[in-house]
């Protein structure tokens, strides 16, 4: 059993429910979905190669999130599934990176599920969790300079462009956005 609160035979804990979506912890059953998502051309372009090329690699990626972020911070990237069907659409969640001072909001969706408002809906639920459950009042988000779709989602949620930063992990220049809990 990992550091999260469930075993592989129990349903993964649900963190949020929206009118169309569930945000829940990742489980090994998500391996095929994870393998597809992290090898999606947009993921590779905007986020980078995670070297997940088999179901075993995908389970290792999931374990890294569960045993790392979930266990240490009680949050991380969560599976975003369709409430009606249970289909995994993407990931969204809160990440504490060593390279950023504040917790980072992250999201990515499979190409066939983009443009339907899911990222905005899931990210709004993650912001509510950040405040209500994790008592965070300031978050950041980073995007590639040319990732206008993600930037529009962030701006619609009240994030504001703060500055460009050098991302040491890749050597890229990224856009840093910030969000403060509305007064």
Q: What is the CATH number of the domain that holds 76?
A: 3.40.630.30
Residue 104 has pLDDT above 80, yes or no: yes
Tell whether 86 is covered by a domain: yes
49 lies in some domain: yes
Q: What is the pTM of this model?
A: 0.90
For the chain, the domain total comes to: 1
Confidence grade of residue 168 (pLDDT, cut at 50, 70, 90): confident
Residue 101's Cβ-count burial label (10 Å; 0-12, 13-18, 19+) is: exposed
What is the structure's pLDDT at 11?
A: 85
The pLDDT of 70-88, averaged and rounded, is: 95
- Identify the band that residue 3 occupies on the pLDDT scale cut at 50, 70 and 90: very low
Domain containing residue 119:
14-180
Mean local confidence (pLDDT), 34-56: 94
Strands, E assignment, 1-98? 14-17, 21-24, 77-82, 88-95
Q: Is the pLDDT of residue 9 over 80?
A: no
């Amino acid at each position: 059993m990992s550091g999260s609160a469930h075993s592989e035979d129990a349903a993964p804990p649900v963190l949020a429910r929206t009118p169309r979506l569930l945000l829940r912890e990742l489980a090994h059953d998500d391996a095929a979905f994870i393998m597809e998502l992290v090898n999606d051309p947009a993921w590779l372009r905007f986020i980078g190669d995670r070297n997940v090329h088999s179901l075993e690699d995908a389970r290792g990626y999931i374990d890294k999130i569960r045993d790392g972020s979930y266990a240490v911070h009680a949050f991380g990237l969560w599976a975003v599934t369709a409430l009606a069907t249970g289909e995994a659409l993407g990931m969204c969640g809160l990440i504490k990176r060593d390279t950023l001072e504040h917790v980072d909001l992250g999201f990515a969706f499979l190409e066939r599920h983009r443009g339907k408002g899911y990222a905005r809906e899931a990210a709004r639920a993650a912001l509510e969790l950040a405040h209500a459950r994790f008592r965070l009042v300031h978050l950041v988000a980073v995007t590639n300079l040319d990732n206008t779709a993600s930037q529009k989602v962030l701006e619609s949620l009240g994030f504001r462009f703060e500055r460009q930063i050098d991302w040491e992990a890749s050597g890229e220049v990224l856009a840093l956005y910030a969000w403060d809990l509305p007064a």
